[in-house]
């Protein structure tokens, strides 16, 4: 088992409390055994300056990947796991619930670290978190990389594919969750499961197909 060597970087407790007051603790679609903080219409987060708070919402690929991990705990049991583009930390939390030895959530937005800490605490698991963009670097010191909703733009998809190529070459396992976005590297993916769910931005009652793939 590889050992994750990254520090946990939670916000000070007062900052986390202030963030929690702007969010609602709810059950994510497909995942009744979990509770996560989510932004609602009155949170004000979407109106703040800077980077959009993608970490404050549920996304189809992450939901599907989290469901798959919980349904197939043998994929993560006893392993060190990296949740790449973690957002809310949903996938890392699901991996810990399914028996992973340790999980590191990585997101480019430092503001995501606060909600990851809140969500990990709400689900009684320990998740390390770091704000970073590792895509141009070497593979992490881990056993398995979990990737939800990272292929939404061509430039990002190209960098992510190259990074995951390096991970596979180094012997890491890679699982991808995505609602069939246009920039998925389908030639490198083997579908393992598919779910119907509401993706971020879907209207009331809408359902989107989101799949889980092995990156090979």
pLDDT at site 198: 77
Position 14 confidence tier, pLDDT thresholds 50, 70, 90: low
pLDDT in tens, 112-126: 999 999 999 999 999
Name the strand (E) or helix (H) holding 39.
strand 36-39
Q: Is the pLDDT of residue 62 over 80?
A: yes
pLDDT at site 45: 66
Alpha-carbon distance values, 196 to 32, 61, 211 (Å):
15, 11, 9
- Structural domains in the chain, CATH included, are 13-215 (3.40.50.150)
Q: What is the mean pLDDT of residues 170-183?
A: 97
pTM: 0.88
Q: Is the pLDDT of residue 22 over 90?
A: no
Q: Is the pLDDT of residue 209 over 60?
A: yes
Q: Is the pLDDT of residue 15 over 50?
A: yes
Q: Is the pLDDT of residue 86 over 90?
A: yes
- 80 neighbors 101 (Cβ within 8 angstroms): yes
SS3 (DSSP) at 193: strand
Pairing of strands 144-148, 173-178: parallel
Q: Is the pLDDT of residue 41 over 70?
A: no
């Amino acid at each position: 088992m590889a050992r994750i060597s990254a520090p946990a970087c939670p916000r000070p407790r007062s900052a986390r409390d202030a963030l929690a007051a702007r969010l609602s603790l709810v059950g994510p679609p497909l995942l009744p055994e979990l509770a996560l903080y989510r932004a609602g219409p009155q949170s004000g987060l979407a109106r703040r300056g800077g980077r959009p708070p993608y970490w404050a919402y549920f996304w189809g690929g992450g939901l599907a990947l989290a469901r798959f991990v919980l349904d197939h705990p043998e994929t993560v049991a006893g392993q060190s796991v990296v949740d790449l583009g973690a957002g809310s930390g949903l996938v890392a939390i699901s991996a810990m619930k399914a028996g992973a030895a340790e999980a590191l959530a990585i997101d480019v937005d430092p503001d995501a670290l606060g909600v990851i800490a809140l969500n990990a605490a709400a689900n009684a698991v320990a998740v390390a978190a770091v704000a970073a963009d590792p895509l141009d670097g070497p593979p992490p010191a881990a056993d398995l990389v979990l990737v939800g909703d990272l292929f939404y733009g061509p430039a990002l998809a190209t960098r992510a594919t190259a990074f995951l190529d390096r991970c596979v070459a180094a012997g890491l396992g890679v699982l991808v969750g995505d609602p069939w976005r246009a920039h998925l590297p389908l030639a490198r993916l083997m579908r393992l499961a598919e779910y119907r769910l509401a993706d971020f931005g879907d209207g009331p009652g809408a359902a989107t197909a989101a799949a889980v793939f092995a990156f090979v």
